[in-house]
Structure 1
Amino acid sequence: MLGLEINEARPHDKLPYRGAWLWVGAEMIHLMELPNPDPLTGRPEHGGRDRHACLAIRDVSKLKEILDEAGSQVRLLYVLAGHPYTLSRSGRPAIFTRDPDANALEFTQVD
């Protein structure tokens, strides 16, 4: 959905957990799959009120369009309170959503 590619050339680290190195343009991020001791209940509905990772994107409206078109087909996201995403409450161009483990993610628009 996000168009990120796995870096297959990245050597498999000898780490005690699973993960993936993903290309983000010319940069990489390392996502790690760790046991999550945090309960899924009691999380703020709006991801901006929870600890979260933020990715800068060029067009928030395009991501919103993709999410709206996917509707109930969005299986990559943890849907909290029936909403696959929320918009920034400050009015700036940003979308907050959650991954399948309910970790909050922010996508903010940069020019």
Structure 2
Amino acid sequence: MRILSLLHATVISADLEKSRAFYGDVLGLPVNPTRPNLPYDGIWYDVGPNQMIHLMLLPNPDAGVTRPEHGGRDRHTALAIDDLDALMQRLDAAGIHYSLSKSGRRALFCRDPDENALEFLEQA
């Protein structure tokens, strides 16, 4: 037995409209229309071939917990991108704080509206 791929990462959202504005509008991820019928609301976003981010509308279990300022020191989801400068422009325009990777790689960390940390790593 071997693991073949990561199919989706689940992200808890307390406010789907704020999350939709971040994941859909700022990051530009397309909604996957084939979301299964579940007993709670949510959104599936396509990230790559057979890869998705699943937003689930649920209360934030970490509400009130202080997260590290730099997302690289916290649990996070890492996404490959092709243009870090373009992402920085989009985050700046949306007023979203980010920090560059401490490793020197062409990468940055930011948080979504529910304080979930995301890493974006530029790859050719």
Question: TM-score scaled by structure 1?
Answer: 0.75
Partner of 2:14: none
4+ runs of 1 displaced by more than 3 Å? 25-28
Partner of 1:96: 109
Partner of 2:62: 38
| CA positional deviation for 1:25 | 4.2
Q: How many residues align?
A: 98
Question: Would you tell me which structure has more helix in proportion to its own residues?
Answer: 2
User: Identity rate of aligned residues, in percent?
Assistant: 52
Aligned-residue CA RMSD in angstroms? 1.9
Matches within 5 A, 1:69-84: 70=93, 73-74=94-95, 77=96, 84=97
Partner of 2:38: 15
Unaligned segments of structure 1, at least 5 residues: 78-83
Name the SS of the counterpart of 2:69 in structure 1. coil
Unaligned segments of structure 2, at least 5 residues: 1-25
Question: TM-score scaled by structure 2?
Answer: 0.68
